[in-house]
Chain A
Amino acid sequence: MSQAGDDHALRNELVKGIWRENPVLLQVLGLCPAMAVTNSLSNAIVMGVATGFVLVGSSVIVSALRRVIPPQVRISIYVIIIATFVTVVDFALAAYLPTAHKALGAFIALIVVNCLILGRQEAFAAKNTVPLAIADAVGMTIGNTLALVAIGVVREVLGSGTLLGVNLFGDKFEPWVIMVLPPGGFITMGLLLFAIALRKEAALRAQAAALQEAP
């Protein structure tokens, strides 16, 4: 493979996770944390970064060891690798960001079962070189974090009337409490997915119309 080809492949793997294959909005993976901890923007950011650290770390290890890990027990070994990273993140957050750790509670430990992470190991890291796996993991991390941030902004602004804890509307605003509760997560997520589906359909229609006009 030429240098230019390598660069192109790397860029492609990096960019695809951000929008075209966005893990939350288009692959609809990892929805549990996407709805559980996005009741504020700061929670969404910390969750996105913590998940990203685990994803990138596990992808590097899985990709580097892809010829060593026996295929029969690969899933167990992926889970051990992921769980190790998650526990390290859990300890590190408790030690260095105690307020964030308090806010996210059990959801840090639950990163272990985020299917986005295991999914990337099985679908990508286990079959590709380390640089490509890093590009893929970083792209997915950015996409995941952006999706969490989008949901977090909507829910915090409407549900608490604040953004990053800063009061936006003054005392007159009555917060929509439902937005910071679980239903708010479902409502926001549903509307986001609906908007994306509409956009996709519009694009498809435009494509079909262009094809009909062509001959």
Chain B
Amino acid sequence: MTDHAPATEPALTDPATAAPTEVSSFRIVGSLVVAGLVSGLILVGAFLWTQPLIAANQAAALQAAIFRVVPGTTTTAPMHQAGDGVALVKPGGEVKGEALIYACTRKDGSLVGYAIPGQGSGFMDTISLLYGYDPGRKVIVGMEVLDSRETPGLGDKIITDKHFLENFKALAVEPDLVPVKRGLKTKPNEVDMITGASISSKAVVSILHKGNRTWLPRIGAATSKGGK
């Protein structure tokens, strides 16, 4: 306290009625500017301090998910679009914001499949997910939602519903994926929807569909050329 306050604390001075006319507008503007500046500095500091951790968390979550959506993986390598196909990202050659997929290999170096990230509109917000694709059998072998804001208890079943997730253990990608009502799945390219969460579960299928269109022809081109 810089000012010479009286010894006894004026406990209940209502700031709203405490002589508002005596404050100069310079002080009003000044205090707002100072408050904004100090706040800005703190925010920049907090951002710089937490950003590496947040980025590391996201990267770790993605890496962990790759191993789950492509079972049997021991090593992964990022790949990017190159011409009509895909090519391994050279060390240090990653471009920020570039779409990547991940080639998954076994211990002996043979290819298990690819982990493909996808995004699209869900019921509430963007759903981002990662799915595994086996080019040998032409099936999707796993799917995991990385981030979503679907309705708790309904839409978020796309993350928790075992029956729904079972769809993606061996889902044929040819012909195109078809969403069907729960329990009506008969063909390998059909996906059983979740009752009460049809928008969210259809969103998942359409994200997979979009990912397939973008990546599968490229992966096909790359594998037919013998390149990994």
A residues with CB within 8 A of B? 39, 66-74, 76-77, 80-81, 83-84, 87-88, 91-92, 94-96, 98, 102, 105-106, 126-129, 159-160, 177, 180-181
Give 26 CB contacts A-B under 8 Å: A39-B152, A68-B31, A69-B15, A69-B31, A70-B27, A71-B15, A71-B20, A73-B28, A77-B31, A77-B32, A80-B35, A84-B39, A88-B43, A88-B46, A91-B54, A92-B50, A95-B50, A95-B54, A127-B12, A127-B14, A129-B9, A159-B153, A160-B153, A177-B153, A181-B152, A181-B154
- In the complex where A67-B3, A77-B32, A88-B43 touch, is A180 in contact with B153 (Cβ < 8 A)? yes
Contact in complex: B35, A81 (CB < 8 Å):
yes
* Chain A positions within 8 Å of B11 at CB level: 127-128
* Chain B positions within 8 Å of A92 at CB level: 46, 50
CB of B186 within 8 Å of the partner chain: no
Please provide the 3 A-B residue pairs with the shortest distance between their CB atoms, ordered closest to farther: A95-B53, A95-B50, A91-B50
Number of A-B contacts (CB under 8 A): 86
- In the complex where A67-B3, A72-B23 touch, is A77 in contact with B35 (Cβ < 8 A)? yes
Other than A67-B5, A94-B57, give 8 A-B pairs with Cβ distance below 8 A.
A68-B31, A70-B27, A74-B15, A76-B32, A80-B39, A92-B50, A159-B153, A177-B154
Interface of A is mostly: helix
Closest residue of chain A to B153 (Cβ to Cβ) is: A180
* Chain A positions within 8 Å of B5 at CB level: 67
- In the complex where A71-B15, A181-B154 touch, is A94 in contact with B54 (Cβ < 8 A)? yes
B side interface size, CB within 8 A:
37
* Chain A positions within 8 Å of B3 at CB level: 67
Contact in complex: B15, A127 (CB < 8 Å):
yes
* Distance in Å: Cβ of A171 to nearest Cβ of chain B: 12
* Chain B positions within 8 Å of A81 at CB level: 35, 39
* Chain A positions within 8 Å of B54 at CB level: 91, 94-95, 98
* Chain A positions within 8 Å of B23 at CB level: 70-72
* Distance in Å: Cβ of A99 to nearest Cβ of chain B: 10
* Chain A positions within 8 Å of B9 at CB level: 129
